[in-house]
């Protein structure tokens, strides 16, 4: 018995930081994001009888343990505990992105793992249930200083507006745009790997501690997510206006914590702007990972050459969220 599940990475365009409970419980939060064609894959199978250990995990490390409590991977340990999946189990994961990339990799792993473990137990969860399971594991069980946007993006998939209410509920609005318009938007996007990986927790701890002092900036970032929703839903979607909103959002985000940016990132961003980029931002918590830019296609060559020390990653829109790819219990999903 085995299962292979996958969950996509995401790019958060607007509102990141307002999905913290410290913010949305005082008013409400809003994030507009999209999933992309880069994934975390999780395989779960019944461990063979010739192996001595009840649990074997392969990720960036290898664990062979006899007790659930001895599992060092916190997300795996707590998800197994909550879903009560009995050993012997073998669990492995691979990803298209390195950890610390700013594209929600840990939450994509949590969501894919929840999907796989439910499937091997013969169960299915709705996407929002799967998101809440991952939120509970990451925020409540292991106390990560994060919000709810990544888990929902990975579970639901596609281009969405998420509204985080003071009572903790999340309203999901799928942005309905013609495929040609989404492709037009992605034709203007560029994603550059800065070469810096970082612990998001370090940056987010600082950002979270500053929330009370940055309510004006965070409220403006939330309002930008709402404004972007109206922009996407309008009959005359403008990539230029979208890029301008990105630039305004990045200007606000830089004020949330000193560790969000550095001289290398700032120089690359300003260079791209001088060469015609409408706007952009550092994805995720900041301090490294990926630099997202929105630029006219005819300007991309010059920007690409100027930022040549950075690796560019080609991305496309991914309309689906977490899914079971292979399982004896369930046929592959299209």
pLDDT tens, residue by residue, 90-142: 999 999 988 878 899 999 999 999 999 999 988 989 999 999 999 999 999 99
Three-state SS for 281?
Answer: strand
Using pLDDT thresholds of 50, 70 and 90, give the confidence band for residue 170. Answer: very high
- Which residues, in sequence order, are bridge partners of residue 174? 160
Q: Between vectors from CA 280 to CA 274 and to CA 109, what angle results, nearest 5°?
A: 150
Judge if pTM exceeds 0.75. yes
pLDDT tens per residue, range 62-88: 999 999 999 999 999 999 999 999 999
pLDDT tens per residue, range 215-238: 999 999 999 999 999 999 887 899
201 Cβ partners below 8 Å, 6+ apart?
144, 145
Pairing between β-strand 55-58 and β-strand 89-95 as defined by DSSP bridges? parallel
For the 179-313 domain, the top CATH level (class) is alpha beta
From 215, 219, 134, 116, select the one nearest 170 (Cα to Cα). 134
Using pLDDT thresholds of 50, 70 and 90, give the confidence band for residue 285. Answer: low
Contact between 254 and 260 under an 8 Å Cβ cutoff? The reply is yes
Distance CA(170)–CA(145), nearest Å, equals 18
Domain ranges of the chain: 2-176+318-326, 179-313
Q: Does domain 2-176+318-326 have CATH number 2.60.40.180?
A: no
């Amino acid at each position: 018995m085995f299962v292979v599940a996958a969950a996509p990475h995401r790019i958060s365009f607007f509102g990141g930081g307002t999905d913290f409970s410290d913010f949305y419980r005082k008013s409400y939060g809003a994030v507009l994001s999209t999933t992309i064609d880069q994934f975390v894959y999780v395989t779960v199978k019944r461990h063979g009888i010739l192996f001595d250990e009840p649990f074997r995990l392969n990720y960036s490390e290898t664990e062979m343990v006899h007790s659930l409590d001895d599992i060092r991977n916190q997300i795996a340990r707590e998800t197994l505990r909550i879903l009560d999946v009995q050993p012997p189990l073998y669990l492995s994961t691979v990803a298209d992105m390195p950890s610390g990339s700013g594209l929600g990799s840990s939450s994509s792993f949590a969501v894919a793992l929840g999907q796989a473990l439910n499937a091997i137990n013969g169960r299915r969860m709705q996407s929002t249930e799967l998101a809440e399971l991952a939120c509970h594991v990451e925020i409540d069980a292991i106390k990560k200083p994060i919000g709810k946007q990544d888990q929902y993006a990975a579970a639901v998939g596609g281009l969405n507006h998420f509204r985080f209410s003071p009572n903790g509920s999340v309203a999901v609005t799928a942005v309905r745009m013609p495929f040609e318009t989404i492709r037009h938007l992605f034709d203007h996007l560029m994603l550059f790997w800065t070469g810096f990986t970082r612990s998001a927790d370090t940056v987010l701890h600082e950002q979270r501690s500053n929330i009370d002092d940055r309510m004006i900036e965070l409220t403006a970032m939330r309002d930008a997510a709402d404004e972007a929703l109206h922009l996407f839903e309008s009959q005359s979607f403008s990539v230029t206006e979208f890029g301008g909103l990105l630039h305004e959002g990045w200007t606000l985000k830089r004020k949330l914590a000193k560790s969000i940016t550095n001289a290398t990132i700032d120089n690359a961003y300003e260079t791209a702007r001088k060469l015609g980029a409408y706007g952009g931002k550092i994805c995720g918590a900041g301090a490294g990972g990926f630099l997202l830019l929105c630029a006219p296609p005819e300007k991309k060559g010059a920007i690409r050459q100027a930022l040549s020390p950075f690796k560019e990653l080609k991305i496309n829109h991914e309309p689906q969220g977490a899914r079971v790819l292979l399982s004896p219990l369930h046929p592959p999903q299209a």
